[in-house]
A = this chain, B = another copy of it.
Amino acid sequence: MSARAAGRWPVAVLGATGMVGQTFVRLLAGHPWFELTELAASERSVGQRYGDAVRWSEATLADEVARLPVLPCDPASITAPVVFSALDAATAVGAEAAFARAGRVVLSNARSYRLEPDVPLVIAEVNPGHLDILDAQRRRRGWSGAIVTNGNCATIVGAMALAPLHERFGVRRVVLTTMQAISGAGYPGVPSLEILGNVIPFIADEEPKVEAETRKFLGALRADAIADAPIAVSAHCNRVPVEHGHMVCLSVELAVPVSPADARAALCAWRGAEVARDLPSAPDRPLILTDQADRPQPRRDVDAGGGMSVTVGRVREDPVLGLRLVALGHNTVRGAAGASILNAELMAARRLLPAP
């Protein structure tokens, strides 16, 4: 593919020692288009070798990555033109803007800029066109680089299940209840005394994120801003004792009411935007429709498509809103690091990355 003709892009990961940072490092190992050359983290880790600074929880850490020095999170210390950010929101506000100002393309997991009208919030298969707002972003902010965000981990799972329905029938109202894995809270995250054999019906700041981001994912590109879709969204967010995989139960009202069979057909046929197909991290099918009565389940389906597919099941009539279904996705892959990498590949394919 021409995108990689000139060699691989050097890329950096900011916040590389955390949970999502580690997932970035794992997913970038041997990436055909990107070469992980720099790692940055908080002051506490700077100067150490990455292998010493990180409490590695993925399977294996390649020696050449373990040996990389941990750098500070500022553009003066990082040379890579493409930067993946797993920073926490407080740090991300300043740091990501600094990188964008310095001409870097920042693919961010942080919530800091997600709802800014001139910052694209992108799922590659759902709304790749929102990247066109980058011109406005650069004009308005005077940046030579850019910030592109992916959504909250639970929102992405729900939005991918809604996308085919919205494209075909128009989504008007959604009640969604999540059952979210502990890895979504990072490390050390949720104390075991709180969650072992328990359910916590609250995740700080999560419900407003799910509601607002869903509308933006399904929204429309206007001249200088992305306009939210006029969808009413209600989220109930729960933490459950599951390691990886966010489950979402959805009750959906469509502008054009359809039978479950028609909804299933739409979900089954959906392949996402053409431009996002065949990207290195794109799964064979962004959505997998299961017809087993008791699926999807986190333990069995979370790694579908290498963690990049969302599995949808139990599509049935809803006595209140018309249609019900269940969706499951891997929260640290499709819902975080994998989503950012896929967005970067999308930008590469659309020639929106600086030449490597």
In the complex, per-residue mask of A204-223: 1 if CB is within 8 Å of any chain B CB, else 0: 00000001000000000000
A150 located at the interface, meaning its Cβ lies under 8 Å from any Cβ of chain B in the complex: no
- Cα distance A83–B247 in the bound complex, in angstroms: 41
> Among B188, B189, B201, B243, which residue has its beta carbon within 8 angstroms of that of A197?
B243
> Among B19, B189, B199, B303, which residue has its beta carbon within 8 angstroms of that of A179?
B199
- Cα distance A211–B317 in the bound complex, in angstroms: 13
Of A182, A195, A251, most B-chain CB atoms within 10 Å = A251
Q: Is the CB of B238 within 8 A of A247?
A: yes
Q: How near does chain B come to A231, taking the closest CB pair, in angstroms?
A: 9
> Among B173, B177, B192, which residue has its beta carbon within 8 angstroms of that of A195?
B192
Q: Chain A: how many interface residues by the 8 Å CB criterion? A: 56
- Cα distance A67–B238 in the bound complex, in angstroms: 32
Q: Which residue of B lies closest to A293 (CB)?
A: B202
> Among B193, B199, B202, B243, which residue has its beta carbon within 8 angstroms of that of A187?
B193
A236 located at the interface, meaning its Cβ lies under 8 Å from any Cβ of chain B in the complex: yes
Given A234-B324, A300-B57, A294:B195 Cβ within 8 A: no
Q: Is the CB of B232 within 8 A of A249?
A: no
Q: Is the CB of B320 within 8 A of A173?
A: yes
Q: Is the CB of A187 within 8 A of B197?
A: no
Of A189, A197, A243, most B-chain CB atoms within 10 Å = A197
> Among B179, B201, B303, which residue has its beta carbon within 8 angstroms of that of A294?
B201
Q: Is the CB of B189 within 8 A of A193?
A: yes
- Cα distance A57–B194 in the bound complex, in angstroms: 9
A120 located at the interface, meaning its Cβ lies under 8 Å from any Cβ of chain B in the complex: no
Q: Which residue of B lies closest to A190 (CB)?
A: B192
- Cα distance A274–B162 in the bound complex, in angstroms: 47
Given A199-B247, A299-B197, A238:B320 Cβ within 8 A: no
- Cα distance A57–B196 in the bound complex, in angstroms: 14
Cβ contacts under 8 Å, A179 to chain B? 179, 199, 238, 240
Q: Is the CB of A242 within 8 A of B198?
A: yes
Q: Is the CB of A191 within 8 A of B193?
A: no
Q: Which residue of B lies closest to A191 (CB)?
A: B188
Q: List 9 A-B contacts (CB under 8 A).
A: A19-B193, A173-B320, A175-B321, A182-B192, A183-B193, A188-B191, A191-B191, A199-B240, A201-B297
